[in-house]
Amino acid sequence: MLSNSVLTIQGWIKATFLGWLLGVVLILVLSSLLDSAGIEHMQFYLGVGMGTGVGFTQWLFLKKSLKMDVRWFLYSILGMGLPFIIVDLLPEGMIAHKIATGISMGALTTGVMQHLLLKIQTRQAILWIPYSFIGWTMGVLTVFIIDYTMALKPILSNNLLLALINLLLILGGGLVLGFITGFFWKHIDTSSK
């Protein structure tokens, strides 16, 4: 049964944001390692890095409140990583937007897998799938806004300010993911099982 005693929306958002931050660090590390090994044009490290970071901190949070086992963390890595691996293995040009496809498939896969753990806790677990999908998708879309900040360069004339805006967009993705998926915890009936 779900317990609201430890599970707070603010705690969830914080855990998700810290996981996103960890995911960004892991992506940078994995990208550097792959580049130094001569592995290029692969995107799987995005899903694996972010799935690892977010899944780990969410699991630490859920472990305290729901006694969630380590599968939450593992499902996050597999759910976000496996679709990116599949997309990377497809012939070049078969998919026009590899990152967008990897993210949307990863968000859906992660939501489905984690829902299997939540359905033990609540009959409303099926709602986790759309919350997870929308949360991940909107979180990453927040980061993609960076593609348009270059239009601000003539206006700002300060590269440091532009870098700060881009950093805030990158980190903002974690807040968006935490906030949207946090609504799941707020709107489910905690006494439904």
pLDDT digits (tens, 9 = 90+) for 21-62: 999 999 999 999 998 998 888 899 999 999 999 999 999 999
| pLDDT > 90? residue 3 | no
Taking the C-alpha atoms of residue 74 and residue 92, their distance in angstroms, rounded to an integer, is 29
Res. 174: pLDDT tops 60: yes
Claim: this prediction has a pTM higher than 0.85: yes
Identify the band that residue 75 occupies on the pLDDT scale cut at 50, 70 and 90: very high
DSSP 8-state assignment for residue 141: H
- The band of 2, judged by pLDDT with boundaries at 50, 70 and 90, is low
Report d(CA 145, CA 49) in Å as an integer.
20
Q: What is the pLDDT of residue 192?
A: 46
What CA–CA distance (Å, rounded) separates 180 from 193? Answer: 23
Sign of the C-alpha dihedral computed for residues 86, 88, 92 and 97 taken in this order: positive
Cα-only R_g, the chain:
17
User: What rounded mean pLDDT belongs to the chain?
Assistant: 90
Start-end of H helices in the chain: 9-36, 44-66, 71-89, 98-118, 128-144, 146-149, 153-156, 159-187
> Percent of the chain beyond pLDDT 90?
67
pLDDT surpassing 60 at residue 189: no
* 121 vs 73, more confident: 73
Taking 80 as the threshold, does the pLDDT of residue 193 lie above it?
no
Asked if residues 118 and 128 have their Cβ atoms less than 8 Å apart, the reply is yes
Query: Is the pLDDT reported for residue 157 higher than 80?
Result: no
What does the alpha-carbon distance between residue 65 and residue 11 come to, in Å, rounded to a whole number? 11
**Burial class of residue 155 (count of CB atoms within 10 Å of its CB; 0-12, 13-18, 19+):** exposed
